[in-house]
A and B are shown apart, each in its own frame.
Chain A
């Protein structure tokens, strides 16, 4: 990085926010997969 802490902070925070949102999608997806398996067993 070109030496400015604010610049680094801004870019990191951007990706933290995006990755945070994507991980909520992924965890919900995993939970749904488990539910589908449970439904299929019935």
Chain B
């Protein structure tokens, strides 16, 4: 029997290949990310001094929106081809599939963030007054927090009416501590006023706990009947 990591890798590569070939999702998401940055720039005047202080929050809200739109598509393809049913009856462990989906989403959302960040820096004239290298772990950990819970709740939403609204409805409340951490860490690094260390440790702990729990509980969600 193929080991779980093998299944994860195969599924992940399949997803990435499909995304790359179709390009539909990528293109629409890229354009959406651009739109979000521009709309935010109109809504929160970048030249105002206050805006630079809340830039950390703005960026993460923008990332959150982009992530939700990306996540909603996550299982759509699977549903269309009844792949989920096939997974349910196969002996493959459910969490291998979950891990693959989460990694795929993580890569996808990270690409979007990589696009949006230069735009934000440009529009808001952002400078990191603190240790800028710390932004990398903060972004990675924060994105993972959103994506791991988002993928899990996207699977859960499949079983509900109004599935597009259920995802943010379930994701946002539980993500609040992580969001607070991401925003505070980013603001701390940009303003150089405080240390982001506490928030980074919180994010690491949050990611560990929720990744473990989602892996443990995914089987339940997949097989709920």
* Contact between chain A and chain B defined by CB under 8 Å: no
Task: Write the residues of chain B forming the contact surface with A, with a CB cutoff of 8 angstroms.
Answer: none
Q: Which residues of A contact B (CB under 8 A)?
A: none
